Amino acid sequence: MPKSSKVTQRELSNEHVTESVADLLALEAPMDYKSSQMSMNMAGGGPPPIGKPDISPDLEDGRPAWNSKLQYILAQVGFSVGLGNVWRFPYLCQKNGGGAYLVPYFILLILIGIPLFFLELAVGQRIRRGSIGVWNYVYPRLGGIGVSSLMVCGFVGLYYNVIIGWSIFYFFQSFQYPLPWSECPIRRNGSQAIVEPECEKSSATTYFWYRETLNITSTIADSGGLNWRMTLSLLAAWIIVCLAVIRGIQSSGKVMYFSSLFPYVVLFCFLVRGMFLKGAVDGIAHMFTPKLEIMLEPQVWREAATQVFFALGLGFGGVIAFSSYNKRDNNCHFDAVLVSVINFVTSILATLVVFAVLGFKANVMNEKCVVENAEKILGYLNSNVLSQDLIPPHVNFSHLTSSDYAEMYGVIKIVKEDSFAQLGLEPCLLEDELNKAVQGTGLAFIAFTEAMTHFPASPFWSVMFFFMLINLGLGSMIGTMTGITTPILDTFKIRKEVLTVGCCIVAFLCGLLFVQRSGNYFVAMFDDYSAGLPLTIVVILENVSVAWIYGTKRFMQDLEDMLGFRPYSVYFYLWKYVSPVCLLILIFATVVEMAISPPGYNAWVQDLVSYTLVCLVLFSLLSYSYCPRTINLKASFTQPCAVPNPYDSLASMEHKI
């Protein structure tokens, strides 16, 4: 801003600035970030408060605005509530102490979640810019924070939309009865009909996911070429996203009315239906049985902090972009608390639904286990391997209950202790089935689909479930795309329609990496390594920029000018001390974990019909070695990626990239 301007003269004379928009337009040169007055004032002793009208970065009448407060809230809720609420939070809750996990999660939501969410909302609303423009106005040299947010949004959007593509494929496959993943396919060998071996050794839902849907290769090095069905699904996903955001908030705001509300309708329907399923109460009881001793482990708090961090969409730039279209006097503190509470309640609701369904599935699988092992015992009785005296007199094989089988199993195990292992009998405990923790694609496309095959009217529930996943993903993708397009539109004179279509085309072409036959491995790698640590660093830089570079006292005064009231003093200490310390600890813990656990991916090996964890161990800067561990999918869907003893693996494999 020119030093001789009327604004500068009045600032130096301590007069109140009252120029009209016309005066500003007539007398001021176009704003240049690098030569802005905020930059000069920083050099001369710190930036002036954001709330001063003489450094207003944009004219309110020239920027689009939300049609209503409800539309804005639904947009923020749609962005923050995504697939992670359905398949990440329930898994973490089960893994980290059941109901006890809610305690550290809620504490960290108060300490870092709501304060940082409030900070992003306030900065975006006051400065009315996207992520790049916001940090350029706080201090020109901080614009790289916004660029980093934009880049992470790009990486996440590339693979996140692939998941929407998978959901679209399953959605259309659900319009069949019976569901195509309910039974193993039959292979004709001349006049003989046999069950597909790969399916028989795993399960129908597992086979449909890995072979029919992904047609996956056994290693990440073998691309296998494009999967044309997944390519078309990805194209459909990007067309839907493009149509939703092509006119900015004018189009995405209207889409949010449906995409944000419909998942709640489905979740409530599933909850009501799930409560009438056999075993649903067992699943919910298992879920909320607190394991207090686990709550004291540092790992639980680290994962709770990470989930809080990602659940609210911090650091992506979408929160800042959405709030930049608000009026400057909007009560963003109320919005921060409201959206955070809705997100938390949604996670609890989704957890109830997931474990009601998984409880039903556990009961079905446990009954199947009892029947299969009872048939083995009958065979041993008929062949005189076992004596009839070992069977309790009240046991009826035609109506065998789980408790009767458990009693019979216990007797046989004690009497036949020396040769029991050769019998191949399983304990068939419901607790073991409930303890099989599944997350991500394993939960949505294997465990949940298997449970729905046992539902009455299973195609209807399958259609509803995958339509819900599409809408959950679409809400998050709208926020992600807004986080990309808004800072670019603020910086360059580009038509939003042209920019949106161009971004979607480029993203689709880059996304072809994920729809190869090996694409699922790249999705897993991107999900694990492309966003976690970078986003944490972005958020701590945002926090430090406002609290320490700009100044917490100035920021609190700006909020008072903007909101008409002064936020609680506790925010001063949370922003300045508590949140940065928590984020530093989180970064340190993440780096330590990455150093201890080598990077890797879960590989489905067709020849072995099993899930293999391929862990990458760095021996030198120029050489890598892969160490596999083979896992039976019937035993577990997930396994920590650790470096195993080479002699523990069932197959010796060596992969090179």
Mean local confidence (pLDDT), 216-227: 87
Position 579 confidence tier, pLDDT thresholds 50, 70, 90 = very high
User: What tokens appear for 647 in the block?
Assistant: 């002699």
Domain harbouring 570, CATH code: 1.20.1740
> CA-to-CA distance for 150 and 241, rounded, in angstroms?
17
Tell me what pLDDT residue 578 has. Answer: 92
Q: Which of 51, 45, 32 is nearest to 123 (CA)?
A: 51
Q: Domain span at residue 555?
A: 69-366+436-631
Half-sphere exposure of 603 (CA within 13 A, CB side): 27
Residue 652 has phi, psi (to 5 degrees) of -95, 120
Is residue 3 one of the residues assigned to a domain?
Answer: no
For residue 78, say whether it is annotated as part of any ligand binding site. Answer: yes
Domains in the chain, number: 1
Is 124 annotated for ligand binding? no
Q: What integer is the mean pLDDT of 107-118?
A: 92
In a domain, 452, yes or no: yes
pLDDT of residue 392: 81
Q: What is the pLDDT of residue 32?
A: 40
Per residue in 510-555, pLDDT (tens digit) is: 999 999 998 988 988 888 787 778 888 999 999 999 999 999 999 9
Q: For residue 226, give the DSSP letter.
A: B
Rounded to an integer, the average pLDDT of 544-569 is 90
Q: Is there a binding annotation on residue 472?
A: yes
- Is 81 annotated as contributing to ligand binding? yes
Q: Do residues 146 and 131 make contact, with C-beta atoms less than 8 angstroms apart?
A: yes
Q: Say which range, 233-242, 392-401, 435-444, has the weakest mean pLDDT.
A: 435-444
The answer, yes or no, to whether residue 457 has pLDDT greater than 60, is yes
Mean pLDDT of 19-25: 35
Across 139-148, 166-175, 230-239, 575-584, least confident range: 139-148
Give the C-alpha distances (Å, rounded to integers) separating 98 from 36, 292, 391: 52, 9, 37
Question: In this predicted structure, what is the pLDDT of residue 417?
Answer: 77
pLDDT value at residue 608: 67
Look at residue 265 and tell me whether its pLDDT is greater than 60: yes
- Examine residue 200 and state whether it is found in any structural domain, yes or no: yes
Flag whether 546 is marked binding.
no
What pLDDT is recorded for position 610? 60
Instruction: Find the mean pLDDT for residues 628-637.
Output: 38
Q: What are 368's two structure tokens?
A: 């199947």
- CA–CA–CA angle 646, 217, 239 (5° rounding): 135
User: Model's pTM, two decimal places?
Assistant: 0.80
For residue 51, the surrounding DSSP H or E stretch is: none
- Give the pair of three-digit tokens for residue 27: 């007398």
Q: Which of 588, 623, 599, 593 is nearest to 524 (CA)?
A: 599
What is the pLDDT at residue 284? Answer: 87
pLDDT tens digits along 473-523: 998 898 889 889 888 888 888 888 899 999 999 999 999 999 999 898 898
In a domain, 551, yes or no: yes
pLDDT tens-digit map of 351-389? 898 888 888 888 888 888 888 888 888 888 888 888 888
* Beta-ladder partners of 630: 612
223 annotated as belonging to a binding site for a ligand: no
Q: What percent of the chain has pLDDT over 90?
A: 22
In a domain, 379, yes or no: no
With respect to residue 320, please indicate whether it lies within any of the assigned structural domains.
Answer: yes
Weakest mean pLDDT among 59-63, 78-82, 154-158, 595-599: 59-63
CA–CA distances in Å: residue 472 to residues 17, 469, 553, 612:
46, 5, 38, 30
Helix axes 458-491, 69-80, angle to 10 degrees: 110
Q: What does pLDDT average to over the chain? A: 79
Q: Is residue 428 part of a domain?
A: no
